[in-house]
Amino acid sequence: MREVDISDLEEKMIPAKQIVKVEDDDGKVRYEQRGTTLPDKSNSSVILEPDSKELSEEDIEGLKRLAADGYFQEMSNKVKVRKSMRFAPVILLGVILTVLCHGPFYTIFWRMGH
């Protein structure tokens, strides 16, 4: 996980924290980053979820507009992002390790074939 300036966000990045709109008692609006929680699409104060979905151009433009309006000054105009994981190499590695270590799936399929 690393912090990235909002002006440097790219489409392939994945948010690592939830960004939530918070309204104070005096009516002042601010945005803050919160730790990862279960996604709640019904909560209108959540503007960005830390799920496996990469940032879209629309997400980035929205964050840049909010930053230009000064809403992210408390966060130094930075958001936390994490690296995306390519699933094909991970799955391939799992298959190779299963075969080499004679894992449970290897044993089941080997018995079915013989």
User: Residue ranges per domain, the chain?
Assistant: 2-83, 85-114
CA 70 to CA 107: how far, in whole Å?
59
Q: What is the pLDDT of residue 50?
A: 78
For 11, 13, 48, the CA distances from 58, given in Å and listed in that order, are 9, 13, 11
pTM for this prediction: 0.66
Residue with more model confidence, 111 or 23 = 23
**Residues 40-66, mean pLDDT to the nearest whole number:** 82
Q: Determine the angle formed by the axes of helices 104-113 and 87-100, rounding to 10 degrees.
A: 70
CA 110 to CA 74: how far, in whole Å?
59
CA 110 to CA 114: how far, in whole Å?
6
